[in-house]
Structure 1
């Protein structure tokens, strides 16, 4: 067997076995739960900006962006800007790699690839830090509610002409808000690309674990994902391209990384 194919099958088998190992996945869930008590996800930066993500999830995002090669990434929820910088840097790396393959001189500002970030409140110190970052030329900021008509009009304008689009939803984590976001943003996802809904793991936390937040067990991103997929199955939806919108939960990703804040949150358009 070709050694490349042999290794691919080896990895696929590893991932399959992880998915079948309830004890191992259970330990991972316990680890995630306990890490929240220590604010673990707040400890990391990407190119200098706080990213507030579990590192394993960031690694998954790197793989997804490289595999799907989106020209546009739409993100709701900005916080300190680390996630925007992560996406922007991956798009910049693709620009660089394309230039190498094509034997061209890289012009960083000539590429159309970009990230659009939406937040209801972009705090002044975060905006200043993002504005000063070298990846700023690939980032467009929109301040306002991610589900408002005004913001969606801007999203539509920025998405004009883009065919390979990826979406990350990471703002208000209540069921109602995430469901609204899915209705509005999922249609932008291109075939073969992803809508990643962050922090679906809230559903798996003990009762009262998020008592200081407006979301919790039974009212969170995972319940919104479940409801939206029911709507897709029973009522149907169309993507922005006019084709039927089908989103599958990609369990391969969460089994691969084993530790994630977003079980059932990696949605692939098929």
Structure 2
């Protein structure tokens, strides 16, 4: 076995061990709970724009984008645009390294605030970014996204907008089928199910009504997808437990 294969085997063993370690899993849940009380995910930016993600999930997405080499990334939820900038910068690195030269990221949001739009449009990575304003589950928006996806070879999907069960389930029904075989539909903020209900204040989502419950419901009738548990076991800290969905067929 060559050194790199040996290293990869050791990593796989590490991840398996972490996934079986109930103590470290419990500690990770406590850590997530307590840091979320203090807005931890708001502390980071990517190339100058707030990204509102755990660094661990940013690393996981980097690994997926490099391994999949998508020519389209679909993202619901834009906020400040940090995730769009991140995805575009990863696609730029892929292109420099011989990957798809015309790869792009499409962001959808019901309300792209003008100051955020201006900042995204002024960013060097805007050349790989397009945006659609409107509800991600509105039929006319879904049709625009499907039109954008036509002719694309490898598509990665990220869902991170309204976190209610019904909304995420509708997004899954609309966009998960666009995911290429071997690629992923990543559903963010499934961690809501694992946090105390009082943490969500007046938000319309909470325990029993969130992205994770939507994922569980979707998978009942969509065997072409499976939860890639190895990713959450590797990360330990993630906003997307049970949310990294790999398309098998």
Please give the range of the TM-score, normalised by the shorter of the 2 chains. Answer: over 0.9
Displacement of 1:5 in angstroms is: 1.6
Q: Distance in 1 between matches of 2:103 and 2:243?
A: 24
Instruction: Tell me the SS of whatever aligns to 1:213.
Output: coil
Q: 1:121 aligns with which of 111, 136, 159?
A: 111
Q: Distance in 1 between matches of 2:82 and 2:5?
A: 35
Displacement of 1:221 in angstroms is: 0.1
Q: Distance in 1 between matches of 2:139 and 2:190?
A: 25
Displacement of 1:207 in angstroms is: 2.7
Q: Which runs of 4+ in 1 moved over 4 A?
A: none
Structure 1 runs not aligned, ≥5 long: 100-109, 234-245
Q: 1:213 aligns with which of 203, 209, 234?
A: 203
Superposed, which structure 2 residues align to 1:184-203 within 5 Å? Answer: 184-203=174-193
Paired position in structure 2 for 1:247: 225
Q: 2:241 aligns with which of 238, 248, 263?
A: 263
Larger radius of gyration: 1
Q: What is the number of residues matched between the two proteins? A: 248
Paired position in structure 1 for 2:12: 12
TM-score (norm 2): 0.97
1:169 maps to 2:159? yes
Are the counterparts in 1 of residues 120 and 126 from structure 2 also a CA contact under 8 Å? Answer: yes
Displacement of 1:37 in angstroms is: 1.1
Paired position in structure 2 for 1:145: 135
Cα-Cα RMSD: 1.1
Q: Distance in 1 between matches of 2:221 and 2:51?
A: 32
Paired position in structure 2 for 1:78: 78
Structure 2 runs not aligned, ≥5 long: none
Displacement of 1:141 in angstroms is: 0.5
TM-score (norm 1): 0.90
Q: Spell out, residue by residue over 1:33-57, the C-alpha distance to the aligned partner (whole angstroms, 9 max, x if none).
A: 1111111110100011000000000
Q: Distance in 2 between matches of 1:81 and 1:183?
A: 24
Q: Distance in 1 between matches of 2:197 and 2:189?
A: 16
Paired position in structure 2 for 1:131: 121
Q: Distance in 1 between matches of 2:204 and 2:238?
A: 22
